[in-house]
């Protein structure tokens, strides 16, 4: 006797829809979770400036490979490849940053 479960077309459609919804939620959550405004952020390129509200200087020491928030109201940022686009709610800055603050 074959005990393999067979899904009806209606069940298959529901499972497909649920999978798509879960994938969309996971993508949205990860995109919003990737920006930060607390602690240092590695620069995508050492030669690029830090976005508005951020600086390469912290406690009078300069680190050209990282950006530091200038205060608690610094926008959330993350670095990106030039070919990538920013997540929803983020704006592109200098081609390599995504920031919650419009440039």
Q: Which residues contact 3 (CB under 8 A, 6 or more apart)?
A: none
73: which residues sit within 8 A by CB, 6+ positions away? 53
Model confidence pLDDT, tens digit, residues 56-65: 999 888 999 9
Domain chopping of the chain, boundaries: 9-99
66 token code pair: 């990282």
pTM: 0.65
- For residue 88, the number of C-alpha atoms closer than 13 Å in the C-beta half-sphere is 6
Alpha-carbon Rg of the chain, whole angstroms? 21
Percentage of residues in the chain having pLDDT higher than 90: 55
Any idea which of 13-22, 28-37, 69-78 has the lowest mean pLDDT? 13-22
Q: In sequence order, what are the beta bridge partners of 62?
A: 57
Confidence of residue 25 (pLDDT cuts 50, 70, 90): very low
The pLDDT of residue 61 is 87
């Amino acid at each position: 006797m074959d005990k393999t479960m067979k899904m009806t077309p209606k069940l298959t459609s529901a499972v497909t829809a649920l999978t798509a919804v879960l994938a969309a939620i996971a993508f949205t959550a990860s995109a919003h979770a990737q920006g930060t405004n607390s602690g240092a952020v590695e620069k995508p390129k050492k030669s690029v400036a830090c976005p508005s509200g951020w600086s390469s200087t912290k406690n009078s020491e300069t680190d050209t490979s990282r950006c530091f928030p200038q205060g608690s109201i610094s926008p959330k940022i993350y670095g990106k490849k030039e070919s990538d686009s920013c997540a929803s709610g983020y704006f592109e800055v200098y081609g390599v940053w995504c920031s919650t603050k419009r440039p």
